[in-house]
Amino acid sequence: MGGGQEINTGEAGISEWIDSLNHSFPGWHVHISPRLSDSEYVAGGAIHSLSSRENVFENESLHLAVSMRSFRAENVSLLVKQLLDCNQLEAQKTLAQINSKYPIVLTRDLGKAKEWLKKQARGSERYGIVVSSQGQRLKPLAIDVRVTTDPIHWFLDGKDDVRSSYYLEDVATEFDIQGLELDWACITWDADFRYMSSEWKHFSFVGSKWNRIKKEERKGYLKNAYRVLLTRARQGMVIVVPSGDPSDLTRKPEFYDSTFEYLKSIGFTVI
């Protein structure tokens, strides 16, 4: 059971498994990883509820630390966790360990990102653009998350089909790509998830403006959406943080600049 994969209503994660054990199977022996208290599991309360049970055993071997997705660098998931937890110094250290095997670059230019993807991929290695389903102000970049992408064509069709990921026109959201992978990914960041004052702020675009997300559950879904997007690439990725437009009140540069500077401070190479 992975952590930080809950991206929609009804997805409760590891805590729901523990609640079920407590409610329906009080006599069972429970063997758990001691790392379930990490932030991406959001299971602190559920873990605490196990303390009153007998026959609960912690076993470090139950934590699967090596990602099979990113075969070039097993610590990519750790880097993403540190990035999302605003643990800048630890993220810098992890990036230094994986950068030679798993390239991650940063840009403000979607065109440069597309060229980078094409240069990295060899043969039939698949690449594509992934975005948050809340990224509704990427339309000026010809990215409209409200247009439905057919995941079958996107993932399986070849370079001569405009519906495929190779064409870099249709994009996949966290819902399309959850549980699936690309060889190389372009993550295009919108103002729904902004780094401000040393923490992440959460927004939803409603009508003609951005509104702050206040419910903790929805904040968690948005954070996990970016966790999913940032862990889809097997071999490397490029992150695009747009420059915004001072003449567009929905895309002010300050909505994006602090996020770009934060990611840059971690050490991602800027192209």
Is 119 part of any domain?
yes
Q: Are 244 and 258 in contact (CB under 8 A)?
A: no
Q: Residues 58, 111: one domain?
A: no
Is 69 part of any domain?
no
- Identify which has the larger pLDDT, 79 or 63: 79
Q: Residues 91, 47: one domain?
A: no
Tens digit of each residue's pLDDT (9 = 90 or more) over 115-124: 999 999 999 9
| Confidence category of residue 212, pLDDT binned at 50, 70, 90 | very high
| Confidence category of residue 6, pLDDT binned at 50, 70, 90 | low
Q: How many residues does the chain have?
A: 271
Report how many domains make up the chain.
2
Q: Residues 85, 165: one domain?
A: yes
Q: Residues 44, 93: one domain?
A: no
Q: Residues 121, 22: one domain?
A: no
Q: Residues 19, 128: one domain?
A: no
Q: Residues 176, 211: one domain?
A: yes
Q: Tell me the pLDDT of the chain averaged across its residues.
A: 89
Number of helical H runs and strand E runs in the chain: 9, 10
Q: Which of 159, 127, 163 is nearest to 148 (CA)?
A: 163
What 3-state DSSP class applies to 145?
Answer: coil
pTM of the model: 0.80
| pLDDT value for 53 | 78
In angstroms and rounded to an integer, the radius of gyration of the C-alpha atoms of the chain is 19
Tens digit of each residue's pLDDT (9 = 90 or more) over 237-260: 999 999 999 999 999 999 999 999
| pLDDT value for 250 | 97
Tens digit of each residue's pLDDT (9 = 90 or more) over 213-239: 999 989 998 999 999 999 999 999 999
Is 125 part of any domain?
yes
Sign of CA dihedral 156, 161, 167, 169: negative
Is 118 part of any domain?
yes
Q: Residues 51, 151: one domain?
A: no
Full domain range(s) for residue 46? 14-62
